[in-house]
Amino acid sequence: MTDLSNEASISSPHEAQLEQIFGESGLLSTSIAGYRPRAAQIEMAKSILQAIEQQSTLLAEAGTGTGKTYAYLIPALLWGGKTIVSTGTKNLQDQLYLRDIPTIKKVLKAPVSVALLKGRANYVCHFHLERTLQNGRLTTREDVGYLRDISRFIKTTSSGDKSELARVPEGASIWSLVTSTKDTCMGSECQYYQDCFVMKARKEAQQADVVVVNHHLFFADLALKDTGIAELLPSANTVIFDEAHQLPETATLFFGDSISTSQILELCRDSLAEGLSHARDGAEWAAIVAPVERAARDLRLAFAQDSIRMSLAQIAPSSEFFPHLETLKEKLDDLISVLEKQAERAETIEQCRVRAIDLLTKLEDWREFPADSKEAKGRPECVLWVEAYSSSLQLHKTPLSIAPIFNKQREGVPRAWIFASATMAVKNDFSHYVSQMGLWDQPAKTWPSPFNYQEQGLLYVPESMPQPNSWGYTEAVVDAALPLIEAAGGRTFLLCTTNKAVKQCAEKLRSEFEKRGLVFPLFVQGDAGRTELLDRFRIAGNGVLIGSQSFWEGVDVRGEALSLVVIDKLPFAPPDDPVLAARIEAMEKKGLNGFVHHQLPEAIINLKQGAGRLIRDETDRGVLMICDPRLISKPYGRRIWQSLPPFARTRELAVAVRFFEKDVPI
CATH number at residue 357: 1.10.275
Do 492 and 576 sit in the same domain of this protein?
yes
**145 domain-assigned:** no
Structural domain total, the chain:
2
Do 368 and 483 sit in the same domain of this protein?
no
**124 domain-assigned:** no
- In single-letter form, the type of residue at position 148 comes to R
The backbone region for 448, taken as left when phi is positive above 0, alpha when psi lies in -120 to 50, beta otherwise, is: beta
pLDDT averaged per 10 residues in sequence order, the chain, 666 residues:
36 81 92 92 96 97 95 95 92 91 94 93 94 82 93 95 89 90 85 94 94 91 66 88 95 91 94 94 94 97 87 93 97 97 92 95 89 72 92 94 90 93 94 96 95 96 96 97 97 96 97 95 91 92 94 88 97 89 92 94 95 93 97 96 95 96 56
Do 596 and 466 sit in the same domain of this protein?
yes
Do 531 and 627 sit in the same domain of this protein?
yes
3-state secondary structure 337-392: HHHHHHHHHCHHHHHHHHHHHHHHHHHHHCCCCCCCCCCCCCCCCEEEEEEECCCC
Domain CATH number, residue 630 = 3.40.50.300
Residue-range definition of the domain harbouring residue 491? 453-659
The pLDDT of residue 666 is 46
The pLDDT of residue 279 is 93
DSSP assignment of 404-456 equals HHHHHHH-SS--EEEEEES-S-BTTB-HHHHHHHT-TT--EEEE--SS-HHHH
Do 548 and 653 sit in the same domain of this protein?
yes
The pLDDT of residue 9 is 42
**431 domain-assigned:** no
Distance set, CA 197 to CA 58, 132, 239, 511, 536 (Å):
35, 18, 25, 50, 33
d(CA 70, CA 238): 15
Do 395 and 471 sit in the same domain of this protein?
no
Q: How far is CA 94 from the centre of its chain?
A: 15
Q: Among the residues of 564-664, which ranges form H helices?
A: 578-589, 594, 600-611, 630-633, 637-643, 653-659
Q: Are 277 and 346 in contact (CB under 8 A)?
A: yes
Round the CA-based radius of gyration of the chain to a whole number and report it: 27
**158 domain-assigned:** no
d(CA 313, CA 665): 57
**546 domain-assigned:** yes
pTM: 0.89
Q: Are 474 and 566 in contact (CB under 8 A)?
A: no
d(CA 651, CA 666): 12
Residue 421 pairs in a beta bridge with 61
Do 380 and 511 sit in the same domain of this protein?
no
d(CA 201, CA 590): 46
Do 381 and 461 sit in the same domain of this protein?
no
Q: Among the residues of 82-196, which ranges form H helices?
A: 90-95, 101-108, 126-135, 141-156, 175-178
Q: How far is CA 305 from the centre of its chain?
A: 28
Do 390 and 459 sit in the same domain of this protein?
no
Do 465 and 349 sit in the same domain of this protein?
no
Please say which residue of 368, 399, 430 terminates a domain.
399
Burial 424-433 (b: 16+ CB within 10 A, else e): bbbeeebebb
Which of 260, 257, 259, 220 is closest to 380 using CA atoms? 257
Do 389 and 479 sit in the same domain of this protein?
no
Q: Are 217 and 119 in contact (CB under 8 A)?
A: yes
